[in-house]
Chain A
Amino acid sequence: MSRQSLSKAHEKITELSWEPTFATPATRFGTDYKFDKSPKKDPLKQILRSYFPMEEEKDNRVFGAMDGAIRGNMFRQVQERWMEWQKLFLSIIPFPEISAARAMPLAIDAVPNPQIHNGLAVQMIDEVRHSTIQMNLKRLYMNHYIDPAGFDITEKGFANNYAGTIGRQFGEGFITGDAITAANVYLTLVAETAFTNTLFVAMPSEAAANGDYLLPTVFHSVQSDESRHISNGYSILLMALADEDNRQLLERDLRYAWWNNHCVVDAAIGTFIEYGTKDRRKDRDSYAEMWRRWIYDDYYRSYLMPLEKYGLVIPHDLVEEAWDRIYNKHYVHRVAQFFATGWPVNYWRIDAMTDKDFEWFEHKYPGWYDQFGAWWEAYSRLAYPGKNKPIAFENVGYEYPHRCWTCMVPALIREDLVVEKVDNQWRTYCSETCYWTDAVAFRPEYQGRETPSMGRLTGDREWETLHHGRDLADIISDLGYVRDDGKTLIPQPHLDLSDPKKLWTLDDVRGIEFGSPNVTLNNMTESEREAFASSYRSNPNRTPSTAKV
């Protein structure tokens, strides 16, 4: 189509909507934002007549690449260390994708602008595309990768696992609560505009370095839809900024959305990239370096900061704090260590780190070895069953952390632990901002103003509570993380499948009692709790080097 006919076509399509007079669309989802003063801002336009063939063409390339990968025996060159983490990642990501589709009516309800409605409806079907294409990629992995265990229970694992839950809030945040908080600020302004860069660009390039070129094919195809979604969100933001009353809410929501995305996405993707790779070239960017480029420079400095001139209050402090956590406070490394500590209740295997990895980490994150080196050596030493229990239940000088009630990643930066009684329950938080999210932001009133549409934190948010006082073997078998011989565990703290004696079974973990830190915390007296909190904060949780043990 010529440019002129394209603009005529766009013009024509705007004629489809009308002002109803008999009845107006049901508003199913509320918002405390107001748009009656907003001038209409239009997003990138898309005509379905050209949209469908364009996407079909992209799909054909993806399916072509899949055929090619199988014919070319791609899996003979794929790193198991990498693929194992895909069992977690690909169990999580189709849900946020489909949730993004489900979020579109929230935004459509809230924003009176038919042009934005059109953009959001196209985004809706894009997101169905993303969700199902990712499920299909995972199916291919299950069929062709050496160890299908974990892929085979994927959505069940996602739904009953502590790490799946961390990821699940990322999708639930799109579809619940105040429509604009959820479907605009959390989903589009932060998750899509900032964090899809690490999800769909940084991670695929790491996949390629580990022999997997299908993940990049699929995820670049996904990412190519993202600019339209970002444009939808930007148009809604500009409309929201037109009303001064919205600014206080935008400030609140950006703080919540930024911080929660950081806690969740950096924990997961940071771990996949830093601990899933075998590529230890020194000139390969670390996650922190990628983050600095994609999030700090491209998002924070080039996208968020210019919005200050429209009156948007930007959470500068939280951007700096996130960077500080990633680079100086070793956030990602603590998360990876925690995942590896919890290996018996995972549905994937985690490879140990070796000297080559140590050297790279020390190069990229000075001080890494001091904090984590001896622990990973202990992890290797305790990798096989028979003589020892899983590392979490051996004394290696690692104290099992408390979970953050809000982001559900544990409070791993121990000095930042917050302990507060909220809704009549003692809760722990990884940071002041996560405490604020629960105690201040997700409430019916904010800074003296009524916020009747704001959502609530719900659910059994501490995973361990569900399993408190039970036998580890029973927990694992109830979760379904057992292989088809009925006894060998899906998770293993190593990659060696060649020797059955090296594979942990239910018998190897029977007799170990599992406990919930939160239940314990709520049973403490006041003085016990204070003592606990201060010792938690001051414990560096550093494994002594083997020489001293």
Chain B
Amino acid sequence: MNAPVKQAPAKAPQSFPKPEFTGAEAGMQTFPSSTSRSYNYFKPQKMRATVYEDVTIDVQPDPERHLSQGWLYGFAKSPGGYPQDWTVLKSGNWHAFLDPNEEWEQTIYRNNSNIVRQIELNLQNAKEAGAYAHWSPTWIRFVADNVGAWMHAEHGLGMHVFVSAQRSAPTNMINNAVCVNSVHRLRFAQDLALYNLDLSESIEAFDGKAHKDVWKSSPFWQGVRENVERLTAIGDWAEAIFATNVVFEPLVGVLFRSDLLMQIAARNGDYITPTLIGAGENDYNRDLRYTRALFSLLANDAEYGEANRAVMQSWLDKWVPVSRHAAVELQPIWSQPSERTITFAESFAAATADFNTLIADFGLTSPKEK
């Protein structure tokens, strides 16, 4: 090296900067734009922009809005940035979507912290109160096997559907909503895994390893695993979200969580599992709000709505049978617990009814059962 090198001083400076009065506070002078105190490059939904709108809109630029020089880097065979053809759905204005949950830094951390704190408290209380003492051997096995297996579904979808899809949508509003969806699922998967660990430590007969085999090879669960794996293999980001949140979740996720577990746990002396599962259900309801807003917007797009509905209908034709199959294969677990308060047919009817209401909102119909 030939440059004269000045070594940085090892010790801190001897002096300190002095504060001085600058008068650089809002309102201390009047001049053009001295009161221009809102982001003025987008039109807020209401009179005043929300914090969510302010911190989200246009952070991901778009050549159709203000971006003037185009994207500066491309992929080898396709343009860079956020190509709109990464889904076959089309929109007259992708930027019209705003997340009804208005997720940003503060809501994400508050919401998830509240949930994990509540779960931790519940589990601690359960241990202290000996809440697991009354669990029957069949229920212990039911939780180890089935609640255990479900953690994998949550994790796989979180990591390989939602984390992946948040790279791909044309706006920051969509991508952030999807991103928050992914951490809900990853967190819930971990919640279930750590619950499983807790149970292995509290209940002698609890087999904390069983979930892995059940997920990999129990015939009851292979339809669910196949569905999950196939969802992760979808390349079109909107199809992946649609086939997961609009099809798989109502027909399999809600079926298992709400229409089975939440109905039978208490009758089997288990007051703890429902609090956990309820948190996952709550996440899904939150994520369903943005999903519904997104696909309603696309289904009702003035220019492309009809074509979009045809595409979504074809997605239903493709994915509903896969999820129905997964649900039906799960049927035998309905008869595993000693206290059976609900039949598979009842649960499946409830799940299907909710599913039909959801897709009716998009102007879609359920494909006929074969």
How many chain B residues have a CB neighbour from A under 8 Å? 112
Minimum CB–CB distance from B159 to chain A (whole Å) comes to 6
Question: Of the candidates B36, B59, B116, B211, which one forms a contact with A52 in the assembled complex, judged by CB atoms under 8 Å apart?
Answer: B116
| Dominant secondary structure of chain A at its interface with chain B | helix
Minimum CB–CB distance from A116 to chain B (whole Å) comes to 11
B233 touches A73 (CB 8 A): no
Is A53 an interface position by the 8 A CB rule? yes
Give the residues in chain A near B4, CB-CB below 8 Å: 327
B24 touches A172 (CB 8 A): no
Name B60's closest neighbour in chain A (CB-CB).
Answer: A98
Q: CA of A480 to CA of B41 in the docked complex: distance in angstroms?
A: 9
B8 touches A52 (CB 8 A): no
| A446-504 interface (Cβ within 8 A of B) | 452-461, 463, 466, 480, 483-485, 487-488, 490, 497-498, 500, 503
A128 touches B190 (CB 8 A): no
CB-CB under 8 A for A327 and B179, given A139-B51, A153-B40, A454-B76: no
Question: Of the candidates B36, B76, B167, B211, which one forms a contact with A148 in the assembled complex, judged by CB atoms under 8 Å apart?
Answer: B36
B72 touches A169 (CB 8 A): yes
| B128-171 interface (Cβ within 8 A of A) | 151-152, 155-156, 158-160, 163-164, 166-168
CB-CB under 8 A for A23 and B33, given A12-B194, A76-B22, A169-B72: no
CB-CB under 8 A for A176 and B235, given A56-B113, A76-B23, A458-B80: no
Instruction: From A35-43, A100-108, A305-313, give the one contacting chain B.
Output: A100-108
Q: CA of A94 to CA of B150 in the docked complex: distance in angstroms?
A: 36
Q: CA of A120 to CA of B55 in the docked complex: distance in angstroms?
A: 23
A23 touches B232 (CB 8 A): yes
Is A204 an interface position by the 8 A CB rule? no
A292 touches B7 (CB 8 A): yes
Give the residues in chain B near A98, CB-CB below 8 Å: 59-60, 172, 175-176
Q: CA of A211 to CA of B234 in the docked complex: distance in angstroms?
A: 52
Max chain A Cβ within 10 angstroms of own Cβ: one of B1, B31, B34, B211: B31
Give the residues in chain B near A172, CB-CB below 8 Å: 71-73, 80-81
Q: CA of A101 to CA of B14 in the docked complex: distance in angstroms?
A: 40
Is A144 an interface position by the 8 A CB rule? yes
Is B46 an interface position by the 8 A CB rule? no
| B2-22 interface (Cβ within 8 A of A) | 2-9, 13-15, 17, 19-22
Is B309 an interface position by the 8 A CB rule? no
A121 touches B229 (CB 8 A): no
| B34-81 interface (Cβ within 8 A of A) | 34-41, 51, 54-61, 65-76, 79-81
* Residue ranges of B at the interface with A (Cβ–Cβ < 8 Å): 1-9, 13-15, 17, 19-29, 31-41, 51, 54-61, 65-76, 79-81, 104-106, 108-110, 112-113, 115-117, 119-120, 151-152, 155-156, 158-160, 163-164, 166-168, 172, 175-176, 179-180, 182-183, 186-187, 189-191, 193-194, 196-197, 211-212, 215-216, 225-226, 229-230, 232-235
Q: Can you list the 4 inter-chain pairs with the closest CB atoms, starting with the nearest?
A: A156-B41, A135-B55, A483-B32, A176-B80
> 19 pairs across A/B with beta carbons < 8 Å?
A16-B151, A49-B187, A76-B23, A108-B160, A118-B186, A121-B159, A125-B179, A128-B108, A145-B26, A146-B29, A158-B61, A159-B66, A169-B72, A172-B72, A324-B3, A455-B76, A458-B72, A483-B33, A497-B29
